[in-house]
A and B are shown apart, each in its own frame.
Chain A
Amino acid sequence: MPFSLHFSPTPLITAPSPLSKPFFLVPYYHTLYAPKSPPCSSTEHALTHQGKQEAFDRRPEDSQTLPLGLRRDAMPSHVAVIMDGNRRWARLRDLPVRSGYEAGVESLRKIVEICCKWGIKVLSVFAFSSDNWFRPKVEVEFLMSLFERGMQEDTGIFFRENIRISVIGDLTKLPKALQELMVNLEEATKNNTRFQLIVAVSYSGHYDVVQACQRLALKAKCGLIEPSDINVSLMEQELETNCTEFPHPDLLIRTSGEFRISNFMLWQLAYTELFFAQSLWPDFGEAEFLKALLAFQQRQRRYGV
């Protein structure tokens, strides 16, 4: 079914700077290699490593060329994604469902890379909903192992690329090993400042609101706040998205053509621009992301006030 947009003003098109590089070049971090041996103390290695590090440090986001039509001043600070369509993607190719999830992880890696390149500060992804616990046990176990494997494999990249990882959701339901991994990764990356990836696992918007109420109730019981102080502002501070400087997504993207938010960040999405993409998540790439960002930048956003 064609996705219909109400287009208003034509997106701005600016000619690229003659000195800028095309946006499709392989991003910098793909050319770095994780050191497999302890750092060599030789002068040559130190100078080479220092040169690469300086080059990385010298690369401010402002010098990264944005694709045609995108304006840096209008980039969303926080993008949220409902990564829907992995299983459908696999079924359409007569592949096992796990292949769809693995393809979804690759898609996520690409989008994280693009966000870093284009100066988006926070990306929240709906990796596993509270509702998903009802899926077949084999599938759930595979997903848990996929999360564990993905976080372990990408730890080096998180440190190298200065990416902060935050996990939101009811982690008590997760396997102990995964819980520990997530908590440790959050702690280890908490001072990273270039980009923040928020992974929602065993999460629902209802759960988030209820746990915020719970935290406030305990604070009031301990005398930290008065019961009469409980208001919208205090509620917001206790939501799990208080882990970021930008708790309210500017843009929500849902893939696979579904037009729902499916219990994701219900409170936080009040003024979030909603973009429903037709493609399935493993197929959602740079072109689709660019479309979503262009649509976002076109909108007359009055935030309801």
Chain B
Amino acid sequence: MWHLLHVTIHLCYFAINIANALESHLISKGLLRRYKSLHISKLQYLAIVIESEDCRTSNVIELLQWLADLGVKHVCLYDMEGILKKSKDFILEKFDGATLFQENDVLLDQPLMTLEFASFSDGKEAVAKAANVLFMKYLKSGSTSSYQGEQIFTESQMGEALKTVGGNGPEPDLLLVYGPARCHLGFPAWRIRYTEIQHMGPLKSMKYGSLIKAIYKFTMVQQNYVKEERQGKTMEWGRTGVDIAKSTTAPLLACFAPRFGK
């Protein structure tokens, strides 16, 4: 009986994998109408997290080419050990369509993709350095405050300190994780408050169709929710069919309502 159950579940998993692979194939061939037009302008900054052990520059360059074809303009490549950072020059040389992201770059539409390379040192280590910067400023200010309850630092001061140590880039709208584990592997935490996170599986098994689907899902979800959340007004209107029908953009979104309604 247990063996039968085991086999049944194994077959279900197999069927799901086949279905996903087929869907990905149909998407990449442009046969699924829904995915044909992506509102790529909604994706201002994309982060790609790759497990260091799976970093193959050939796969990375192919992935960047797909993103360039889709019109993605700003990408941050992250792996914990900094393998991609070390291969930065090689990647930029092999992938013609990109320039290195400069900290003061504004996220505008531009002909070439900008690439940022990040690693663990830009995450927790940068925050520790920023803490040191804040402390030195605090000492210099001559403040006599020693009351633990009093606020001596603010979030914006931390943001500025992170910029000083080179650890504060833009907050990605979407973060794609390529690897076996469904976690962001230490991507600079300060920058992912409201970032949409999607797990894509191992890099070696990446599929163009899956990439399109992930970006499509992001562009459809972003509607109202995150904008209000970033303004400090958390609302939960954007995901349900009922709420979308009530919005002023109902005619445009009505065809998607059944996908979101419970």
Residues of chain A touching chain B, judged by Cβ–Cβ distance below 8 Å, are: 1, 4-8, 10-11, 13-15, 84-85, 87-88, 91-92, 129, 131-135, 172, 204-207, 209-210, 212-218, 220-222, 227-228, 230-232, 234-235, 256-263, 266-267, 269-275, 280, 299-305
- Which B residues, 58 to 106, have Cβ-Cβ distances below 8 Å to chain A? 80
- Say whether B154 contacts A134, CB under 8 Å: no
Q: Which 3 pairs, one residue from A and one from B, show the smallest C-beta to C-beta distance?
A: A266-B189, A304-B185, A300-B180
B240 CB contacts on chain A under 8 angstroms: 88, 91-92
Bound CA–CA A78/B186 (angstroms): 18
| Residue from B5, B155, B180, B200 in contact with A299 in the complex, judged by beta carbons closer than 8 Å | B180
Tell me the bound Cα distance from A302 to B221 in angstroms.
30
Closest Cβ of chain B: how far from A65's Cβ, in Å? 15
A10-B6, A134-B233, A305-B80 given; A216·B146 CB < 8 A: no
A-contact 0/1 string along B190-203, CB 8 Å cutoff: 10111111111100
Residues of A within 8 A of B194 (CB): 260, 262-263
Nearest chain B residue, comparing its CB with the CB of A221: B146
Residues of B within 8 A of A135 (CB): 233-234
B11 to chain A, nearest CB (A): 9
- With contacts A172-B149, A227-B135, A263-B193 known, is A272 near B183, CB below 8 A? yes
A207 to B151, CA, bound (A): 11
A217, A266, A304: the one contacting B153 at CB < 8 Å is A217
**B16 interface contact, C-beta 8 A:** yes
Which residues of A lie under 8 Å from residue B186 when comparing CB positions? 270-271, 304
Nearest CB in chain B: distance from A269 CB, A: 7
Residues of A within 8 A of B10 (CB): 10
B124 touches A267 (CB 8 A): yes
Q: Closest approach, in angstroms, between the C-beta of A297 and any C-beta of chain B?
A: 13
